[in-house]
């Protein structure tokens, strides 16, 4: 990466990891095998992001709408989630990654909550990269949850952006600078609705299990060439 590009590196990159099902279908394999291949891609991308100097990486792993899928696929995903969390958290810790979760976590079974809670605790002091797993995440739901918490807090006074932000799932994480979606669809599917107001978008047809470091670098190069104005002249 050139020096100029290094200077224009996004602080927070978010990824909609889409295309696992189609990747499997092309190979006449069950969808869950596509999700398994997607987990491998995620490991590669976490390593690459850390090496490239990305400070926050958020990944859309399961949306509030993904419960609409057949229960066999949802169960397969929960199984992979357990396997991944148990097997990889120690590795993430050794790599100085702080693991966090954003979403309506209370929908998950108790054993998963135990592992996610432990992972957050164990990696709390790490400062190499924050990896935010957006699980049972929905942007609209996050805003509703924040409004509910604000009301429940009993504080009065005007509702400002800053106050509402304080009730979001990961309020200390800066808004995503760059949002990447793999798999060819040109939509965000309820990802970071509030936080993504001024994010730069990058779409690629590459299916998530095929996503390599070089693809990430391509997205970063595209980002580096953009001018962000935030409504100013
Ligand atoms: C994304 O891949 C992973 C999850 C939503 C969990 P998909 O499963 O949506 O893959 P496609 O879009 O059907 O190819
Ligand atoms: C978005 O992908 C959610 C995740 C990648 C976790 P979907 O495959 O669920 O989105 P739609 O259905 O194509 O909008
Ligand atoms: Mg999809």
pLDDT tens for 157-174 read 999 999 999 999 999 999
Active-site annotation holds for 210: no
For residue 70, the domain's CATH number is 3.40.1180.10
Total structural domains within the chain: 1
Q: Is the CB of 22 under 6 A from ligand 1?
A: yes
The verdict on whether 136 is a catalytic residue reads no
| Range(s) of the domain holding residue 119 | 8-224
Query: Whole-model pTM above 0.85?
Result: yes
Residue with tokens 């990305």: 54
Q: Is residue 63 part of a domain?
A: yes
- Separation of 83 CA from ligand 1 center, angstroms? 19
Catalytic hit among 20, 47, 66, 127: 66
Tell me if 211 is assigned to some domain: yes
Read off the pLDDT of residues 11-70 as tens digits, 9 standing for 90 and up: 999 999 999 999 999 999 999 999 999 999 999 999 999 999 999 999 999 999 999 999
Q: In the structure, what pLDDT confidence band is assigned to residue 1 with cuts at 50, 70 and 90?
A: low
212 lines ligand 2 (CB under 6 A): no
Of 80, 138, 75, 147, nearest in space to 105 by CA: 138
Q: Which ligand is nearest to the CA of 81?
A: 1
Contact in structure between 174 and 188 (CB atoms under 8 Å): no
- What SS3 class is residue 216? helix
Quote the percentage of the chain above a pLDDT of 70: 97
The structure tokens 């599917």 sit at 189
Nearest residue to 8 via CA among 227, 198, 174, 229: 227
Please give the pLDDT value at position 2: 61
Tell me how far the alpha carbon of residue 126 lies from the centroid of ligand 1, in angstroms.
Answer: 30
Is residue 183 one of the residues assigned to a domain?
yes
Q: What is the pLDDT of residues 216-232, one digit of tens each?
A: 999 999 999 999 999 99
Mean pLDDT of the chain: 96
Residue with the nearest Cα to atom 12 of ligand 2? Answer: 189
Residue whose pair of structure tokens reads 């595209």 in the numeric block: 222
Distance CA 154, CA 156 (A): 6
């Amino acid at each position: 990466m050139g020096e100029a590009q290094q200077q224009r590196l996004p602080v927070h990159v978010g990824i909609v990891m889409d295309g696992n099902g189609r990747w499997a279908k092309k190979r006449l394999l069950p969808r869950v095998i596509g999700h398994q291949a997607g987990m491998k891609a995620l490991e590669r991308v976490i390593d690459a992001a850390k090496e490239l100097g990305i400070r926050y990486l958020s990944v859309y792993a399961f949306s509030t709408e993904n419960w609409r899928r057949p229960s066999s696929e949802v169960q397969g995903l929960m199984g992979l989630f357990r396997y991944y969390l148990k097997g990889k958290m120690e590795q993430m810790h050794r790599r100085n990654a702080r693991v966090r979760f954003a979403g309506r976590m209370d929908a998950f079974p108790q054993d998963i909550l135990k592992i996610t809670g432990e992972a957050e605790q164990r990696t709390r002091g790490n400062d190499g990269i924050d990896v935010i797993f957006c699980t049972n995440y929905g942007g609209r739901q996050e805003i509703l949850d924040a409004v509910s918490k604000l009301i429940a807090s009993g504080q009065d006074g005007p509702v400002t952006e800053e106050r509402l932000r304080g009730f979001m799932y990961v309020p200390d994480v800066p808004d995503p600078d760059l949002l990447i979606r793999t798999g060819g669809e040109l939509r965000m599917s309820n990802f970071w609705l509030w936080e993504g107001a001024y994010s730069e978008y990058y779409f690629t047809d590459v299916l998530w299990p095929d996503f390599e470091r070089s693809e990430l670098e391509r997205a970063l190069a595209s980002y580096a060439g953009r001018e962000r104005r935030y409504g100013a002249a």
